[in-house]
Amino acid sequence: MTTWLRTIQLSVKNLLLHPLRSALTVLGILIGVASVIWLLAIGEGIGQKAQEQIASLGAQNIIVRTIKPSSDEVADGGYGLTRNDYVCLVATVPTIDEAFPIRVLSQEFRFKTRHFEGRLVGCTPGYAEVTALKQDQGRFITDADLDGERNYCVLAAESAVKLFPGGDAVGKKIMIDKEFYVVVGVMVSRAPSAGIGGSLAAEDYSRDVYVPITTLWRRIGDMTIVTKPGQFQRDIQEISQITLRVDQPSHVLQTADIIRNTLAQSHTLADFGVTVPLELIEQANTTRLMFILFLGMIAAVSLVVGGIGIMNIMLATVTERTHEIGIRRALGAKRGDITRQFLAESTVLSVAGGMLGILCGLACRPLSALIRSALERWFPVHMESLPDLIRTVQPVVVNWSIPLAFTISILVGIFFGVYPALRAASLDPIEALRHE
């Protein structure tokens, strides 16, 4: 133990004789270790954000949505989910606890001289829960509104600002499709949900107006007419989406298969899609692990580059200290002593770089927040145009990445230090003494 301590002390002393050269070598290892921690943290942050968005859909939920076929397939304009589908699924699938149908269409909303285009969402009282909408003023749609087919509506946060800049919306009447609706509530602003591949489209809740779905069916109906220059298009759609809540997570996949088979019997067209968040969560977890592994391999390249730097500096050191090696051999030092000396120096460089790299790696979260804040201040327009995921994602340091990166840095230092150490130990003592 004493021999090793003296060797390490001598190694530090020799490295300090060339501080700039040693510092640059340590910097190479530092960058490699920090890169491993940073890239794995970024990958973990992106993966967790994606999983949170999918999980917000509900692990026990199954989402059935209408898909519009090509115009050639829809001769009469009718397609998608129907009220009969909703009744049939609720009545025949015993594992379904709750079902929340919605009907969405574009509509113009007016209050006196103010107006804007947004989404009219016919829904049930449970819609606020399944979409994580929170109340700001008044209340949401109730069962009494649904049963009475009342002309009541609830405004999303931005919709309320568009029509009522003063903030006093509850109790006022707005016009929807030539009829007046009483505003009974205003919701808190909610971030848009991200699209999940081809499984589910992104949803922006900011310009929504919510009404009882029975009111929408009665007052507005199922038909929408789209007129364009030289084109007249009629769409008949009863339900845009049904969110089904299953009684137990273990029944989700089996229930999804039953739903697909049930709907396939009454739908000759491919006009519906079934999305299972539980399946998406499992897929996202697999993708996250692959992404982290890929980023880790990229970061490992930085450590290899740092190791090459250690080998380069140690080979140069052997050449510079050939005379010193000859003197030590002449005074009785064995080849093992010379090997241990140079190997200790390369290890000290890698340990110092690894420790400093860990400190830089742990600073990834505050530094990323600082960088994002600076970019938002200098390039506000460009940052605003980026997807919400990129603007809000936070790096999450993976606990096992710290010991992994540190261990790899030490192994790199030893691996790339072995050859210079063996080369120094193999020098002929007589030739080394003659070297100038």
Q: Which residues contact 301 (CB under 8 A, 6 or more apart)?
A: none
Q: Do residues 80 and 12 both lie within one domain?
A: no
Per the CB < 8 A criterion, the answer to whether 122 and 103 are in contact is yes
**Rounded mean pLDDT, 193-211:** 70
Lowest-confidence region among 105-114, 131-140, 161-170, 374-383:
374-383
Q: Do residues 102 and 151 both lie within one domain?
A: yes
Dihedral angle sign, alpha carbons of residues 300, 305, 309, 314: positive
DSSP secondary structure string, 63-116? EEEE----TTT-SSSB-SB-HHHHHHHHHH-TTEEEEEEEEEEEEEEEETTEEE
Q: Which of 239, 270, 301 is the last residue of a domain?
A: 270
Q: Which amino acid is at 131?
A: T
Dihedral angle sign, alpha carbons of residues 130, 131, 136, 137: negative
Q: Do residues 47 and 109 both lie within one domain?
A: no
pLDDT at position 197: 47
Q: Is the pTM value of this prediction over 0.85?
A: no
**Rounded mean pLDDT, 4-25:** 74
Q: Do residues 290 and 392 both lie within one domain?
A: yes
Q: Is residue 62 part of a domain?
A: no
**Rounded mean pLDDT, 7-14:** 72
Q: Is residue 276 part of a domain?
A: no
Q: Which residues contact 359 (CB under 8 A, 6 or more apart)?
A: none
Q: Domain residues for 142?
A: 68-270
pLDDT tens across 322-374, in order?
667 677 777 777 777 777 777 888 888 888 888 888 888 888 888 888 887 88
Q: Do residues 288 and 412 both lie within one domain?
A: yes
Output the average pLDDT for the chain. Answer: 80
- CA 177 vs. chain centroid, Å, equals 39
Q: Do residues 83 and 228 both lie within one domain?
A: yes
Cα 388 to Cα 191: distance, rounded to the nearest angstrom: 8
Q: Which of 270, 300, 324 is the last residue of a domain?
A: 270
pLDDT tens across 249-289, in order?
778 888 888 999 999 888 887 888 888 776 666 666 677 67
Number of structural domains in the chain: 2
**Rounded mean pLDDT, 126-152:** 91
Q: Do residues 242 and 383 both lie within one domain?
A: no
Cα 193 to Cα 8: distance, rounded to the nearest angstrom: 56
pLDDT at position 184: 95
Q: How confident is the model at residue 167 (pLDDT cuts 50, 70, 90)?
A: confident
pLDDT tens across 366-423, in order?
888 888 788 778 887 777 776 666 667 778 887 888 888 888 888 887 887 777 777 7
Q: Do residues 196 and 265 both lie within one domain?
A: yes
Q: Which residues contact 151 (CB under 8 A, 6 or more apart)?
A: 179, 180, 181, 182, 211, 215, 219
**Rounded mean pLDDT, 291-301:** 73
Nearest to 119 by CA among 209, 191, 235, 237: 209
Q: Do residues 300 and 206 both lie within one domain?
A: no
Q: HSE-up of 295 (CA within 13 Å, CB side)?
A: 23
